[in-house]
Amino acid sequence: MDRNFLKELGLEKEVIDKILDQNGSEITALKTQLKTKDVEITTLRNDLSTANTNLAELQKVDVEDLKTQLANEKAGRLKDKQNYQLNNLFSSAGCKDIDYLLYKLGDKVQFDENGAVKDKDNLLEQCKKDYASLFETEPQGNTGSAGNFQRNRDANNNVSKEQFAKMGYKERLELKQNSPETYNELVKE
């Protein structure tokens, strides 16, 4: 709005000043709103650009490949669980060479859907029968085979805390099998 235009209309100076003040305040408010909206538009454009970039990156991901990797990982975990079950079974049965026994068995061992060995007792019995040389046999009596020397079968009962702490997995398992009372006492300590 122009002051001269309002003078030509015959308005007084005070009225013109009030009209221009009111108009100025309205224009200032509108300019402020316009600047705020411009900032919002710029922010939204930047957000949209970032979202489009992220979407483009996500579209590059091969979902089928990820599904295949996941399936392979699950199969590998199941195989590891099955191997652990077999190792534990044969180790507790006194097998001297578990890896060779597993090689000889191949894929003959059956597992349930959770990876546990089906019919453990029959499997163990059959393995001890077919591969007897791979399993330790308990001697009759408390003597050795050559020269009839005494074996120290009670050596496991004299294991100290320090010795137990230094023992490996197989030694601890042997102690647990041969002397469960001593093993349980040392585990508690």
- pLDDT of 163-172, one tens digit each? 888 888 888 8
User: Within a domain: residue 144?
Assistant: no
Residue that wins the pLDDT comparison between 76 and 146? 76
Claim to verify: residue 69 and residue 55 sit in the same structural domain = no
Q: Is the domain of 71 the same as that of 52? A: no
Biggest CA–CA distance in the chain, Å, is 140
**Domain span at 160:** 153-188
Tens digits of residue pLDDT in 35-67: 999 999 999 999 999 999 999 888 888 889 999
Please tell me the predicted confidence (pLDDT) of residue 149.
47
Cα(131)–Cα(106) distance, integer angstroms: 14
The reported pTM is 0.44
pLDDT of residue 155: 52
pLDDT, position 64: 92
CB–CB of 123/109 below 8 Å? yes
- Residue for token digits 């030694």? 171
Q: Assess whether 94 and 125 both reside in one domain.
A: yes
107 and 159 share a domain? no
- With respect to residue 96, please indicate whether it lies within any of the assigned structural domains: yes
Examine the fold and report which residue of 59, 78, 95 is the final residue of a domain before the chain moves on: 59
Inform me whether the pLDDT recorded for 102 exceeds 60: yes
pLDDT of residue 138: 59
76 falls within a domain: yes
Number of domains the chain contains: 3
Lowest mean pLDDT among 53-62, 105-114, 135-144: 135-144
Tell me whether residue 142 is in a domain: no
In the structure, what pLDDT confidence band is assigned to residue 144 with cuts at 50, 70 and 90?
very low
Q: Are 116 and 109 in contact (CB under 8 A)?
A: no
What percentage of the chain has pLDDT greater than the value 70?
89
User: Could you tell me if residue 146 is inside a domain?
Assistant: no
pLDDT at 140: 47
Q: Is 150 helix (H, G, I), strand (E, B) or coil?
A: strand
State the pLDDT at residue 40: 95
Residue 28 confidence (pLDDT) above 70:
yes
Cα gap 58→2, rounded to integer Å: 57
